[in-house]
Amino acid sequence: MHISALQKARYDYIPKLPESLAQDAAAASLVFGAPAQSAADQAELKAIFKHTYGKPVITFEKGSNLQIRRPLNVGVILSGGQAPGGHNVIAGLYDGLKKGNADSKLRGFLGGPSGLIENASKELTGAVIDLYRNTGGFDIIGSGRTKIETAAQFASSLETAKALGLNAVVIIGGDDSNTNAALLAEYFLERGSDIQVIGTPKTIDGDLKNTHIEASFGFDTAVKTYSELIGNIQRDANSAKKYWHFIKLMGRAASHIALECALQTQPNVCLISEEVEAKQWSLSQVVDLICASVIKRADNKENFGVVLIPEGVVEFIPEMKRLIAELNDIMAAHENALDGLDAFADQLEFAAPKLSAPSGGLLRSLPQRIAKELLMDRDPHGNVQVSMIETEKLLMDMAGRRLAELKEQGMYRGSFSALGHFFGYEGRCAFPSNFDADYGYALGLSAFVLIASGQSGYLSSVRNLVAPVSQWVAGGIPFTMMMNMEQRHGSRKPVIRKALVDLDGAPFRTFAAQRDEWAVKTSFLYPGAIQYYGPPEVCDQPTKTLTLEHPPQPRKFF
């Protein structure tokens, strides 16, 4: 196996631990809080989760826990998109199992939840685990996006777990994956099985969080990776002084990544999807916002800049959202007819008259390459592939068109050359930052303590993340505490609520207070690469989002 010098060095990194887990995780005792209620729809959720609703929040303390010493057989699943720190969750889980009892075993299900359904797994030994400590990626066992949702899939999952003699299944995933985990925990108990299900919070998007889940692992590393790239581009822009860079950032439903990167790099413009929706901005208004910065900077002889764009912003622009919804309906109703038209012009002339007048006009006004993506790139269900829309190029083209019009009218005297970028996969498998390496490992150890203590239906939780690691608070929170009912595919279903950017929250307010200055004055920050070795103020700092949402409490002296 060929490894880099950094990878070799990272194998030797020993994650820092919360005090309750530091000496011997197998001695952590559980402190139970009051029964927890769901985020909303309590009566409906209580009826669905008869066995797992109303569980208490759990906190760990140093103490004695004889249960933890029994031998255990546990399965682990990586579910959904990759996120830095996943390997450390598995390492923490493995180390906890072995410290509890040397005869305990860990199996990894291959390729995500489908591995559980299809009984595809391998034993994860110490030799295997050691090859992946403190490294990025999910390649130790692979990941997948299969959902356990049919009766046959649930039955197969239970059959596999029984056949392997598992005591528990740990699912490492985001909001959808942990919703699946909640349903699986309930299903096992409903069928009289004592096989436990525990989840851990993973997503670079940052949209799985609440009071007890302050952050999901992977977000810290991803935004620091993107911010380095943005800082590099900003330095290039400030050197060449001739390009506007439009940078789309991963984060489909929420703008946490874009907001954090803006706080770290101070670009000229950063769109926040949640604000666009709240203020009901049209596509034209979004373009005007960008052009206003371009014009003001041109007046200062600065014909360059940077615009950050959340991946899913087009779905938050009301008129674009309506257009996409109408196109999906037309595609569903006329699938065969559309499939028979190979040319874009023919598809446009077929679809546009069937749209409402505003949507038809909008479709015809879009740059041709964007209209093509809306009409010709469809997912297996026939719907528009929103994630494939090159939003950065849409806004570049429309801003260029608007500025050309203003130039003809004598209202703009600058020059405008634009380049587009999309940063997504670059951040999903980076070497985890020290924060994510520590956090992932602590989440894995916490999952072990919950399993060894006989708990099921819980998400591993580590809080107080802005404090030094020794002061982090480990424990678990019930899946159902984070849930509400939402309309999905024509029926109400239980889901873990996505946490979108809070426009009243400290991170957004901090950004909003400074963005007018950034729009005109070159205020770029250059974060540089993630540092793994050196002083804590350089290597171990959490994100600005986390620090603003959970400001450190001043120490009290008596």
Sign of CA dihedral 189, 480, 171, 486: positive
Q: Considering 95, 205, 207, 220, which one is annotated as catalytic?
A: 205
34's tokens = 């009051």
Which of 467, 475, 473, 463 is closest to 542 using CA atoms?
467
Q: Is 516 helix (H, G, I), strand (E, B) or coil?
A: helix
The residue assigned the tokens 């990167």 is 261
For residues 137 and 17, the answer to whether their CB atoms sit within 8 Å is no
What's the CA angle centered on 194, arms 193 and 200, to 5 degrees?
115
Per-residue exposure over 461-474, b if at least 16 CB sit within 10 Å of its own CB, e if not: bbbbbbeebeebbb
Torsion of CA 480, 481, 485, 486, to 10 degrees: -110
Provide the edge-to-edge strand list for the sheet that holds 473-478: 28-35, 56-62, 473-478, 458-463, 196-201, 168-173, 73-78, 105-109, 121-123
Active site residue 205: yes
* Bridge partner list, 420: 246
Q: Identity (one letter) of the amino acid at 79?
A: S
Rg (CA), the chain: 25
- What would the DSSP string read from start to end of 278-297? HTT--HHHHHHHHHHHHHHH
Q: Which residues contact 537 (CB under 8 A, 6 or more apart)?
A: none
What are phi and psi for residue 494, nearest 5 degrees? -75, 130
Distance CA 169, CA 366 (A): 48
- What would the DSSP string read from start to end of 480-515? GGGEEEEEETTEEEEEEPP----TTSHHHHHHHHHH
* CA atoms lying within 13 Å on the CB side of residue 271: 35
Which of 92, 112, 133 is closest to 7 using CA atoms?
133
For residues 57 and 98, the answer to whether their CB atoms sit within 8 Å is no
- For the annotated catalytic residues, the residue numbers are 205
